[in-house]
Amino acid sequence: MVRYLITRVGQALIVVILVTVIAFLILHLLPGGAARATLGKDATLAQLAQFNHDMGYDKPWIQQYLMFLQRLLHGDLGYSYQLNQSVIEAITQRLPKTIVLSLLSTLLAIVVAIPLGVIQAVRRNRWADYTITSLSLLAYATPIFFMGLLMIILFSQVWPILPPEAPQGFTVAEVLADPAGLVLPTVTLAIVTVAVYSRYVRSSMVDNLNENYVRTARSKGLPEWRVVLVHTLRNGLFPIIGLLGMYLPALFSGALVVESLFNFPGMGQLFWQAALKRDYPVLLGVTLIISIATVVGSLIADLLYAAADPRVRLRGSAS
C-alpha cells in the first residue's frame, strides 16, 4: 500500500506541475500580453512597461516561472482590477458556497442513483429497467440550462412553491439559512449526475450478479434482498468511488451554468462574470484551482478505490 501511495502521489505532483506550466503559458500568450489584458486597451506604453517591470514580466521566462511558482506557494494568484481585490480573496469568498452546492447535489445524486441502478440490475430487461434507462438518457441528453429553466417555470410559476432565485447570502451560513432557495439549483445540478451514476451502478451490479460468489450465496439459501444489498451492492459501488474524483470538472461546469441561471453567488458565477469582463487574472486563478482540485480528487478516488479493493493496489505495486 505504501508503494502504491507513493506512486500515485508522485504522478499527481507531476500533473500539478504541468498544470502550473500551462497556466503560466496562457498568462503569457494572452493577446497583447498580461499587461494589456490587465490594464486595458487605453493603457500607455509607459504604463505597460511599468506593469511588466513591477510584475517581473521583463525577466527571462525561466525566472518568471520560478517567481510564478513562488507566488502560488504563498497563495498569490494575482490581483483583479475589475473587482479591486486579490484573486485568492475573491475565490475564498465564493468557493465555499460552490462546494456546498456541489456536495448537496452529489449527495442527492448518490442517494437517488444507487437505488435506481440496483432496481435496473435486478429487473434488467424488464419494464422498470427500460423506463429508468429511457428517463436517464433523456436527463443526460437535456442541456442543463434548459433543465434549470424548466424547473423555474414548473415550480416557480406554474406551481409557485419554490423561489426562482438561489440564496443571496454572503457566507455559507446565510446561504444554508434559506433551504427553499437551494432546492432548485441542487436538483438541477443533480439530475444529470443521477443519470450517469445510475448507469454505472447498473452495469457494475449486472456484472457482479453473475459472479460465482453470488451463486454461492444463493445456494446457501440466503434471502435475495441480502444477496443483492449486502454481498453484491458493496462490490457494485466501486465505480462510484472513481467517478466522485473524476467528475469534479463536470460538476464545476454544471455549477457555472446553474449559478448563472439561479444567480447563486458562487465560484461558477464569478468565472462567468470574469469571462464577460475579460478579467484574465480571475479566469486563470479559477482554472488553476479547479485543475488542482481535479488532480487531488482523482488521487483521493484512487486511494479510496485501493483501500476498498486490494486487487487495485496489488496491480499498482506490481507495475
pLDDT score of 248: 66
Does domain 91-318 fall under CATH 1.20.58.760? My reply is: no
3-state SS, 14-77, equals HHHHHHHHHHHHHHHCCCCHHHHHHHCCCCCHHHHHHHHHHHCCCCCHHHHHHHHHHHHHCCCC
pLDDT score of 276: 80
Other CB atoms within a 10 A radius of the CB of residue 268 amount to 27
User: What are the extents of the domains in the chain?
Assistant: 2-87, 91-318
pLDDT score of 282: 83
* Rounded-to-integer distance, Cα 32 and Cα 27, Å: 11
pLDDT score of 225: 78
The ranges of the chain with pLDDT < 70 are 1-2, 4, 30-34, 37-38, 40, 242, 245-253, 305-319
Helix then strand then coil, in percent of the chain rounded to 5, is 80, 0, 20
35: nearest Cα among 8, 53, 17, 21: 53
pLDDT score of 281: 79
* Rounded-to-integer distance, Cα 81 and Cα 274, Å: 11
pTM, 2 dp = 0.77
* Rounded-to-integer distance, Cα 202 and Cα 118, Å: 6
- What is the rounded end-to-end Cα distance, in angstroms, of the chain? 13
pLDDT score of 293: 78
pLDDT score of 93: 87
